[in-house]
Amino acid sequence: MKVLGIDEAGRGPVLGPMIIAGVMIEEGKEADLGEVKDSKLLSHKKRLEFSEHILKNFENHIIVVKPEIIDAAVLSNELNLNWLEAHKQAEIINKLKPEKAIIDCPSTNPEKYEKYLRNLLDNKKIILIVEHKADFKYPVVAAASILAKVERENQMDKIKEKYGDTGSGYPADPKTKDFIKKNYEKYPEIFRKSWSTYKKLTESNSQETLF
């Protein structure tokens, strides 16, 4: 049985893309992935090693979700961040066509999320496992979390190379806050404008300029 694990990276930052990755294996062959674990528990060097191994040896698919797509979903009446993630997960499932998919659930209501996701799938009879912290429990989801994290890091490296030091990109990072204040007008394409941090910083900046 073909089993697909899906996870994301970069859901919370105020700048840069969110990455959603899927990795597919034959059930029972988890050991072939190596001693994978949730990407947050691995060093950068280890993540790169695992990523190279996974990309070379297993079917996979990675989706880069740009800030403007995230904003459009968050600000729309039909979607939100969770439903956007479900649509992207469905893209991966429909492309790779597993018999079972294991999802690291972003919603507080896994049952409702599973129902929404299933409606987006070509194969309505697929076995779906939708759980919180699936990346800790299922090696194939941990493998997906590694691909997502490494791709997010690659994307952030490209952003820093082009635009300067953004910091981590997370709302609480003082370096990121400073970068937003100085650059929100110059580089609108890299920011998630629907984030409250972005709104507060740009509004306060505009007021300071007025006064």
Kindly report the average pLDDT of the chain as a whole number: 93
Q: What is the pLDDT of residue 187?
A: 94
> What's the token pair of residue 195?
């984030």
If one counts every other C-beta atom within 10 angstroms of the C-beta of residue 44, the result is: 11
Using CA atoms, how far apart are residues 170 and 163, in angstroms rounded to an integer? 16
The per-residue pLDDT for range 170-210, each reduced to its tens digit, is 999 999 999 999 999 999 999 999 999 899 988 866 555 44
Exposure class string for 169-191: b at 16+ Cβ within 10 A, else e:
bebebeebbebbeebbeebeebb
As a whole number of angstroms, the longest Cα–Cα distance in the chain is 65
Structure tokens at 122: 């070509």
Fold annotation for 2-160? Nucleotidyltransferase; domain 5 (3.30.420)
Question: Checking phi first, is residue 13 left (phi over 0); if not, alpha (psi -120 to 50) or beta?
Answer: beta
Beta bridge partners of 102: 5, 129
Alpha carbons 90 and 93: distance in angstroms, whole number = 5
Strand runs (DSSP E) across the chain, as ranges? 2-9, 18-26, 59-65, 100-104, 127-131
For the chain, which residues make up each domain, given as ranges? 2-160, 165-210
pLDDT of 178: 95
CA 44 vs. chain centroid, Å, equals 17
What would the pLDDT profile of 64-120 be if each residue is shown by its tens digit?
Answer: 999 999 999 999 999 999 999 999 999 999 999 999 999 999 999 999 999 999 999
- Which pair of tokens denotes residue 26? 């034959």
Report whether CATH 1.10.10 matches the domain 165-210: yes
pTM greater than the 0.95 cutoff: no
Amino acid sitting at position 186: K
Whether 2-160 shares its CATH topology with 165-210 is answered no
